[in-house]
Structure 1
Amino acid sequence: MTRGSFRAGDGTRLAYRDEGSGLPVLCLAGLTRDGRDFDYLARHIGDSVRLIRLDSRGRGGSDRADPETYTVAQEAQDALALLDHLGIGRAAVIGASRGGLLAMAMAAIAPARIAGICFNDVGPVLEKEGLARIATYLGVKPAVRTLQEAVDRSPAANPGFRNVPAPRWEEEAVRHFVQTGDGLDLPYDPALRIGFHRAMSEPLADAWPLFDACAGLPLALVRGANSDVLSRDTAGEMQRRRPDLIRAEVPDRGHIPFLDEPEALKAIHTWLARCAALHEQETS
């Protein structure tokens, strides 16, 4: 695995991981998450693809930036800049939550760069109930002081998740919190809440045109059956607009599935095969 970094157009240093070979697959994480979110998936697809994981600005190993730049438009441009940095003309994209919005934005502004999109529990309509839940903890320093306390409270703090083995919550804790001598801290810039709350105070934009702009691309959707962010109705409308959408409903999962569930893996492998076939046609 190669760990590297590059400078975005405004000078912000962005971290990424690059491993494997073959079809380039760019992984874009959710609002408060980073490339480690795809560790579970990486265990199952190994070196069969070139897996590239970006830490968006303000998250993980990337620099914190001007809060005004924590926008879907800017972060989509950052993702395209990473492809430029790596000399990749076109990549398939797995977008988890906010990462899926970035993927749609990329497909709209640079369609030739996208070889397919797999959405993890995200779509053109986001439910206000789930967004309100996210708003309650975004940018708030954890009240608990140790990782073990975070593990112990994980089942109650993650509505919609059931039958999750205890070791998984231990893995999750080290990805979502940082242990310091003064308790737990956040692995992202708390200022992310500024743009989020601003967006929440305004009418939500119609993102269906962005989804429709993905016409012709291999698409997949993984949805947590208990998600409070992506409704079953929205998933159904995505399927209606794209009958060829590869769709998985993951039981006992809320927002967002881990992506190593059997249902998720089956859909992702099918989607990757479609993306790889398209990639081979275009490069032969």
Structure 2
Amino acid sequence: MQRFAADDGLWLAYDDQGTGTPLLCLAGLTRNMDDFEPVVEQFADRARIIRLDTRGRGGSDHDPDFMNYNLIREGRDALALLDHLGLARAAILGTSRGGLIAMVLAAGHKDRLIGVCLNDIGPMVDPVGMGYIMSYLGKRPELADYDAAAARLEQTMARRFPGVTRAQWRVYARRLWDEAPDGLALRYDPRLRHAVAEASATGAMPDLWPLFDALAGLPVALIRGANSDILSADTAAEMRRRRPDMIHAEVADRGHVPFLDEPESVAAIAAFLERCA
């Protein structure tokens, strides 16, 4: 892991491995670069895998002003990393919020993008899934360690992620939380909850379809968990109608979000990288 200073002086963590087409990996709302470990394992021999911990997440500094946890600021940070690495352009693999950042960049800085692969996100966010996220956002889990977390996840996530083993859930828990003497601790700034609450205070979701349409002319791929409560089947179908050339993978037995180690996910990313080469 390395670090660089954003234009406002905040230190952000990143990892840079592999050779080939630069693929900038942007994680979900509370997540971090560790979610892309399977991508490094599968594709570092054919792509330059650049993983960013968005401000307030993982190894990056927490922002003194939680209102800077927004898509515009986070998009600027992504561009700042490309500048730091001397890259004029990169493809983006964006999971959930990372995909929203990618679409924002397509609208304002399309010249910096080679292509965009969206992992279980689109221009419409299902309110059911958003409600579930708000139920835990910013709260420490009442769990002693990774073993306890794996047991809990195996039980509570069985409907959306059938067949995922306890060992797999332990890896998931390690990526999401830190083990501390008093139990598992968040690997992100808990004030993210305030930022999301402030952003949604009006109760009205902005129309994000123009951001998706801004991807016109770029290679695009979509990976969707078949049991997703964030990206509905109807929204995915409309995305495919608007972009019939879009690479599409429906991952069975996965909710929000696919782990990116599934055969369907690997095949979609491989096809996407071929188009971006």
With structure 2 as the length reference, what TM-score do the two structures score?
A: 0.97
1:132-211 aligned within 5 A: 132-158=131-157, 159-202=159-202, 203-211=204-212
Given that residues 19 and 47 in structure 1 are in contact (C-alpha distance below 8 angstroms), is that contact kept between their aligned partners in structure 2? no
Q: Decide which moves more: 97-106 or 149-158.
A: 149-158
Q: Determine if the alignment matches structure 1 residue 263 to structure 2 residue 264.
A: yes
Secondary structure of 1:124 counterpart: coil
Q: Decide which moves more: 49-58 or 152-161.
A: 152-161
Q: Determine if the alignment matches structure 1 residue 97 to structure 2 residue 77.
A: no
Stretches of structure 2 lacking an aligned partner (at least 5 in a row): none
Q: Deviations over 1:130-183 (max 9, x none)?
A: 000000000001111222110100123335111112221111111111111111
Deviation of the 1:201 alpha carbon:
3.0
Deviation of the 1:23 alpha carbon:
0.6
Alignment partners' CA distance in 2, 1:43 and 1:88: 22
Partner of 1:279: none
One-letter amino acid matched to 1:222: I
Q: Deviations over 1:41-88 (max 9, x none)?
A: 221113210000000000000000020100011000100000000000
One-letter amino acid matched to 1:62: S
Deviation of the 1:109 alpha carbon:
1.1
Deviation of the 1:214 alpha carbon:
0.6
Secondary structure of 2:133 counterpart: helix
Q: Determine if the alignment matches structure 1 residue 212 to structure 2 residue 217.
A: no
Secondary structure of 1:62 counterpart: coil
Given that residues 116 and 219 in structure 2 are in contact (C-alpha distance below 8 angstroms), is that contact kept between their aligned partners in structure 1? yes
One-letter amino acid matched to 1:167: A
1:1-284 aligned within 5 A: 3-65=1-63, 66-158=65-157, 159-202=159-202, 203-276=204-277
Given that residues 220 and 247 in structure 2 are in contact (C-alpha distance below 8 angstroms), is that contact kept between their aligned partners in structure 1? yes
Q: Decide which moves more: 196-205 or 50-59.
A: 196-205
Alignment partners' CA distance in 2, 1:261 and 1:41: 11
Alignment partners' CA distance in 2, 1:46 and 1:21: 6
Secondary structure of 1:47 counterpart: coil
Stretches of structure 1 lacking an aligned partner (at least 5 in a row): 277-284
One-letter amino acid matched to 2:109: A
With structure 1 as the length reference, what TM-score do the two structures score?
A: 0.95
Q: Deviations over 1:185-209 (max 9, x none)?
A: 1000000001112233321110000
What is the total number of aligned residue pairs between the two structures? 274
Secondary structure of 2:139 counterpart: coil
% identity of equivalent residues: 52
Alignment partners' CA distance in 1, 2:30 and 2:156: 15
Over the aligned positions, Cα root-mean-square deviation in angstroms equals: 0.9
Q: Deviations over 1:223-273 (max 9, x none)?
A: 000000000000000000000010000000000000111111111111110
